[in-house]
Amino acid sequence: MTAVSSAIGAACLNTAGLEYVGAHPDVLTNLVNASISLNESGAEHIQHMGAALDELSRHHPTLRPIVLEAVNKQLQQSIEAGKAFVPTEEEAANYSFENVDKNADSPKTVTNKPMTDLAKVIKVSLAG
Give this prediction's pTM: 0.64
Residue 87, SS3?
coil
pLDDT, position 83: 86
**Which has more pLDDT, 19 or 102?**
19
- Cα first-last separation, the chain: 18
Residues 36 and 49: their CA atoms lie apart, in Å, by: 9
pLDDT, position 14: 92
Q: How confident is the model at residue 109 (pLDDT cuts 50, 70, 90)?
A: low
Residues 86 and 118: their CA atoms lie apart, in Å, by: 16
Say if residues 35 and 46 touch (Cβ distance below 8 Å): yes
pLDDT, position 103: 60
Give tens-digit pLDDT for 73-104. 888 888 888 888 888 887 777 776 555 555 65
